[in-house]
């Protein structure tokens, strides 16, 4: 017999599923255009291992792009460490998106596991039977 809490948990699991579908629209893979070694303002950043400075780097590169545009230059013609500002921006954004995707996916899995553990034993059995029935009917 499903309890009131079971019903709430099932509704929350539906929200998790909706958020998972939204995650599918995010970029989960990092495919760089650059060599990922950015030398900027006397610092060297390796995009393959650095995850702490990505927001700062995005803002910094974006500011450089805006500055170049105000001087009637394109983000493709200004280079840093052998690659255009546009390529650096794309790579940093892609890296940040892939990390955000991974973190959100992990967070949803953790929440779902906690919710599953809170389900009553009867409801857990019912859901397992429903899943098996789906497998048999497909």
pLDDT in tens, 13-66: 999 999 998 888 776 788 999 999 999 999 999 999 977 789 999 999 999 999
DSSP-derived secondary structure for 84-126: EHHHHHHHHHHHHHHHHHHHHHHHHHHHHHHHHHHS-HHHHHH
pLDDT digits (tens, 9 = 90+) for 82-97: 999 999 999 999 999 9
Range of the domain at 38: 4-137
Contact 75, 65 (CB under 8 A): yes
Q: How many domains does the chain have?
A: 1
- What is d(CA 26, CA 21) in angstroms, rounded to the nearest whole number? 10
Q: Taking the model in full, what pTM does it have?
A: 0.77
* Token pair for 41: 């303002």
């Amino acid at each position: 017999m499903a309890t009131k809490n079971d019903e709430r948990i099932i509704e929350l699991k539906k929200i998790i599923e909706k958020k998972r579908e939204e995650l599918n629209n995010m970029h989960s893979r990092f495919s760089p255009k650059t060599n990922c070694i950015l030398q900027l303002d006397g610092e060297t950043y390796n995009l393959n291992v650095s995850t702490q400075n990505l927001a700062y780097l995005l803002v910094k590169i974006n500011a450089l792009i805006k500055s170049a545009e105000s001087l009637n230059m394109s983000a493709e013609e200004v280079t840093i460490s052998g690659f255009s500002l546009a390529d650096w921006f794309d790579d940093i954004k892609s890296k940040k998106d892939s990390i955000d995707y991974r973190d959100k996916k992990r967070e949803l899995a953790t929440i779902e596991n906690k919710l599953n553990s809170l389900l009553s034993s009867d409801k857990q059995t019912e859901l397992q039977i429903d899943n098996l029935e789906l497998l048999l009917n497909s």
